[in-house]
Structure 1
Amino acid sequence: MRYMLSYDLMETLRNANQWYGATALSMASYPAFAAIPNPMLNWMAAWGEVTERSFQRMVAKPDWGIHTVTCEDGKDHLVEIDKVIERPFGDLIHFRVSGRKTQPRKVLLVAPMSGHYATLLRSTVKSLIENCEVYITDWHNARDIPVSAGKFDVEDYTLYLVDFMKELGPDTHVIAVCQPAPLTLAATAYLADIDPEAQPSSLTLIGGPVDPDATPTDVTDFGHRVTMGQLEQTMIQRVGFKYKGVGRKVYPGLLQLSSFMSMNMERHSKAFSEQIARVSRGEATDHDPHNRFYDEYLAVMDMPAEFYLSTVERIFKNREIGANTFTVAGRKVDIGKITDVAVKTVEGAKDDISAPGQCIAALDLCTGLPEEKKASHVEPGAGHYGIFAGRSWRNNIRPLVIEFMNANTRKPPKAAAKRPAKPQAAE
């Protein structure tokens, strides 16, 4: 499946299903048929509408959709998205709120590169932008990156994070969500070794597999069951001629999506059947709960093959982060060298992807960090998505994270220059 034919076949099937949906919608909506009411035509049009929308969303990057925010002054302020750093595989972007003072908390959200776009954290951004300066890693779809841009594996990902942290400065609070948690921890330790003054003020790790073997799940078991050769032969394909990244080896987003869907096929089938019924009755809207969820869920991106394979091998199989043996560019990364960055872990009690225990393992690895700078929280009843989006995040977890930031904030670089050589985090 490594060749372009396999990649183009998947894209052809997606394109064909989108066309089938559009055709069914057009035929069943033919004006002359309105004179002869027929429930089957209504159902056919509804099926076509849902099908076309679903398959069309699979290749479209969702928009952030954050145009205004209501600030503490009670006024709506425009939100502009600025690119702070532009790189081939991902950018650092800033949600700049026009007409308000710079907020005291500078937050870097590290989005996962696990098949979905950074817009998966849209609600997280919205909840923080009200009283924080929010930055986020905006990873690019590998199919759109020319082969001439080179490779991108877990070490390159870590070095990207190092550069982003250096750019934002030591008064930054970093929040890593899910997959990037172990690599963000490694990037912080790397900074602690080569440039201690550039370390962030705090680091919050949310539902990430720092030590996958601490509490095994189906995801971690899969990493142990298959060999790297099997993964490369069955999961890796080359981008077809339709995209700029033609010839690049990737783990296709459509293949990842099929894996996601198969885990809860009955639930997804029921959701789509009910949506078709709602559309046929005229009860559905463009932004109803079904469309809001699946417009994001179905929008998938390709991952560079070397990033996917190195993640499975080094993070899950070899446990290089969990065993504190990770190396970057030939340099040993010792997580114990983190001595003055406050670290907090957040886990969901019902998380079946990164089960409780996998993320909190980060605190045991921070052997050089005082206990008063360590914190953890397990959210009762929350699943994987609930710990960074939804009611659990808004009502329970976000206030705790904000409180943790406030208790561990360094002064901005200019103010810090007036202090002794090594700034300490405020208690």
Structure 2
Amino acid sequence: MRYMAIYDMMETVRNTQQWLGATARTMASYPAFAMLPVPAIQWMAAWGEVTERSFERMVVKPDWGIRTFTCEDGRDHLVDIRTVIERPFGDLIHFDVSGREEQPRKILLVAPMSGHYATLLRSTVRSLITNCEVYVTDWHNARDIPVSAGKFDVEDYTLYLADFMRELGPDTHVIAVCQPAPLTLAATAYLAEEEPDAQPRTLTLIGGPIDPDATPTEVTDFGARVTMGQLEEMMIQRVGFKYAGVGRRVYPGLLQLTSFISMNADRHSAAFTEQITRVARGEASDHDAHNRFYDEYLAVMDMPAEFYLSTVERIFKTREIARNVFTVNGKKVDIGKITSVAVKTVEGSNDDISAPGQCVAALDLLTGLPDSKKASHLEPGAGHYGIFAGKSWRNNIRPLVLKFIDQNSAPKAAAAANTNVA
């Protein structure tokens, strides 16, 4: 119960900060205060507005915000987000552009389950639906999943991905971003042995820790220093009474957010101080750069404890994927069994989360795949976020990935894709 009490205490602190912000903003907005030319009152209102918004966003799942899309016919088409497969821990969703012909490129975008929602890939999705049919793994917040749904660890994650690939069929092109890269590689190898006809045509791994030891970072160093017992004691709590997942063991999103912010505390502190100043001067807006970024960054989700702990132990500590000894349901998943799926890795030279060398290590594991079906790209000057959602992705990496997809597509699909502008 003490872990449940801590979880509820963290939520109480968050809720109190939100209430304090709302109170300060409301009090400073009394008409009577307008008669007093005191800058402190304006600053209090600004502090309250920024504080209330920030702490409120921590428990709200962001909206995709992709409602319409302008196609080549010059008309705006509605985008319908349709659930293809519904599961307790995550769904497979499709961004269906109404009234548009089905696009020849079918892409499964595997989103991370690493503290943020799949909406973190919003700009990636926007860039791909231009001329692709885009499917995304939409992982659920563990606090909302009843204990009766059971556990969810790296093996369950791998089986979910295998089911999603099986559902979409062999003409699918999979793009895995960051954390899911090693497990997406494992899911592909699992299908290669269990159901070869269900394998995707291509697999693109972007900034993922295939071999965390290839180039150590602060993230890998932390995983090496801390024992699993220490990690479980420090990070794992039970969901409190407020949510449907009451009693479920999780790595709380609020605790994750604390870790995220502490890594760059000075930068975040300066950003919020500047935003308060802008609000006080009337220079801020609801969708300015600060709010666009932090509305997403502060929205965190709880991870199932089994998934978090098994990821640290099996992916980072014992390096089961890197050593090709990963198992699912007691059976080894041999990455060397992949013989027909074209694989491309993408890394950023300035990536401080999955440093260069960690992702490209996947190509050495593909012993059964001819070199003609292997490719890699190192983006100069790009950080972690930039390689899948920033300027580097839009200007250079996306065209390279689509070219790789077209080169390894079925002849008819490739010809149709080449008629569209990449």
Could you tell me which residue of structure 2 aligns to residue 194 of structure 1? 194
Could you tell me which residue of structure 2 aligns to residue 44 of structure 1? 44
Partner of 1:211, secondary structure, is coil
What is the CA–CA distance in structure 1 between the aligned matches of 2:242 and 2:114, rounded to whole Å? Answer: 22
Could you tell me which residue of structure 2 aligns to residue 138 of structure 1? 138
In the TM superposition, what are the counterparts of 1:271-310 in structure 2 within 5 Å? 271-310=271-310
Native 8 Å contact 1:237 1:251 kept in 2: yes
What is the CA–CA distance in structure 1 between the aligned matches of 2:22 and 2:412, rounded to whole Å? Answer: 54
Q: Alpha-carbon deviations, 1:53-92, whole Å to 9, x = none?
A: 0000000000000001112222211100000000000000
Could you tell me which residue of structure 2 aligns to residue 407 of structure 1? 407
Native 8 Å contact 1:171 1:411 kept in 2: no
Could you tell me which residue of structure 2 aligns to residue 3 of structure 1? 3
Native 8 Å contact 1:106 1:173 kept in 2: yes
What is the CA–CA distance in structure 2 between the aligned matches of 1:306 and 1:104, rounded to whole Å? Answer: 38
Partner of 1:112, secondary structure, is coil
Partner of 2:266, secondary structure, is helix
What is the CA–CA distance in structure 2 between the aligned matches of 1:234 and 1:226, rounded to whole Å? Answer: 10
Partner of 1:339, secondary structure, is coil
In the TM superposition, what are the counterparts of 1:54-69 in structure 2 within 5 Å? 54-69=54-69
1:286 partner letter: D
Deviation for aligned residue 1:31: 1.1
Could you tell me which residue of structure 1 aligns to residue 387 of structure 2? 387
Gaps of 5+ in 2: 414-422
2:315 partner letter: I
1:5 partner letter: A
2:3 partner letter: Y
2:365 partner letter: L
Could you tell me which residue of structure 1 aligns to residue 78 of structure 2? 78
Q: Alpha-carbon deviations, 1:16-58, whole Å to 9, x = none?
A: 0000100000011111111222110000000000000000000
Could you tell me which residue of structure 1 aligns to residue 420 of structure 2? none
Deviation for aligned residue 1:390: 1.6
Partner of 2:213, secondary structure, is helix
Could you tell me which residue of structure 2 aligns to residue 422 of structure 1? none
1:114 partner letter: S
What is the CA–CA distance in structure 2 between the aligned matches of 1:12 and 1:412, rounded to whole Å? Answer: 57
In the TM superposition, what are the counterparts of 1:257-272 in structure 2 within 5 Å? 257-272=257-272
Deviation for aligned residue 1:319: 0.1
1:24 has 2:32 as partner: no
1:407 partner letter: Q
Could you tell me which residue of structure 2 aligns to residue 420 of structure 1? none
Deviation for aligned residue 1:412: 8.8
Structure 1 consecutive aligned stretches of length 4 or more whose deviation exceeds 6 Å: none
Partner of 1:367, secondary structure, is coil
What is the CA–CA distance in structure 2 between the aligned matches of 1:398 and 1:319, rounded to whole Å? Answer: 29
Partner of 2:323, secondary structure, is coil
Deviation for aligned residue 1:331: 1.2
Could you tell me which residue of structure 1 aligns to residue 419 of structure 2? none
What is the CA–CA distance in structure 1 between the aligned matches of 2:259 and 2:200, rounded to whole Å? Answer: 36
Native 8 Å contact 1:2 1:235 kept in 2: no
Native 8 Å contact 1:171 1:412 kept in 2: no
Partner of 2:307, secondary structure, is helix
Alignment TM-score, normalising by the size of structure 2: 0.97
Deviation for aligned residue 1:411: 6.6
Could you tell me which residue of structure 1 aligns to residue 248 of structure 2? 248
Native 8 Å contact 1:115 1:300 kept in 2: yes
Native 8 Å contact 1:2 1:234 kept in 2: no
1:323 partner letter: R
Native 8 Å contact 1:2 1:236 kept in 2: no
Alignment TM-score, normalising by the size of structure 1: 0.96
Could you tell me which residue of structure 2 aligns to residue 105 of structure 1? 105
The root-mean-square deviation of aligned C-alpha atoms, in Å, is 1.1
1:100 partner letter: R
What is the CA–CA distance in structure 2 between the aligned matches of 1:3 and 1:29, rounded to whole Å? Answer: 39
What is the CA–CA distance in structure 2 between the aligned matches of 1:411 and 1:306, rounded to whole Å? Answer: 43
What is the CA–CA distance in structure 1 between the aligned matches of 2:324 and 2:166, rounded to whole Å? Answer: 23
What is the CA–CA distance in structure 1 between the aligned matches of 2:105 and 2:37, rounded to whole Å? Answer: 59
1:369 partner letter: L
Q: Alpha-carbon deviations, 1:178-228, whole Å to 9, x = none?
A: 000000000000000000010001000000000000001010011110100
What is the CA–CA distance in structure 1 between the aligned matches of 2:393 and 2:119, rounded to whole Å? Answer: 17
What is the CA–CA distance in structure 1 between the aligned matches of 2:52 and 2:411, rounded to whole Å? Answer: 52
1:291 partner letter: N
What is the CA–CA distance in structure 2 between the aligned matches of 1:261 and 1:272, rounded to whole Å? Answer: 12
Native 8 Å contact 1:2 1:233 kept in 2: no
Deviation for aligned residue 1:2: 6.0
Partner of 1:292, secondary structure, is helix
Could you tell me which residue of structure 1 aligns to residue 417 of structure 2? none
Native 8 Å contact 1:181 1:208 kept in 2: yes
Could you tell me which residue of structure 2 aligns to residue 95 of structure 1? 95
Q: Between 67-76 and 385-394, report the one with greater CA deviation.
A: 67-76
What is the CA–CA distance in structure 1 between the aligned matches of 2:148 and 2:123, rounded to whole Å? Answer: 35
1:204 has 2:243 as partner: no
Could you tell me which residue of structure 2 aligns to residue 119 of structure 1? 119
Q: Alpha-carbon deviations, 1:325-380, whole Å to 9, x = none?
A: 00001110000000000000000000000000000000000010010100000111
What is the CA–CA distance in structure 2 between the aligned matches of 1:232 and 1:2, rounded to whole Å? Answer: 14
1:175 partner letter: I
Identity %: 81
Partner of 2:368, secondary structure, is coil
2:184 partner letter: T
1:325 has 2:325 as partner: yes
Aligned residues: 413
What is the CA–CA distance in structure 2 between the aligned matches of 1:412 and 1:300, rounded to whole Å? Answer: 42
2:337 partner letter: K
2:165 partner letter: M
Could you tell me which residue of structure 2 aligns to residue 34 of structure 1? 34
Q: Describe the shift of the 1:2–1:72 C-alpha distance in structure 2 as closer, same or farther (beyond 3 A).
A: farther
Partner of 1:91, secondary structure, is strand
Could you tell me which residue of structure 2 aligns to residue 418 of structure 1? none
What is the CA–CA distance in structure 1 between the aligned matches of 2:392 and 2:131, rounded to whole Å? Answer: 19
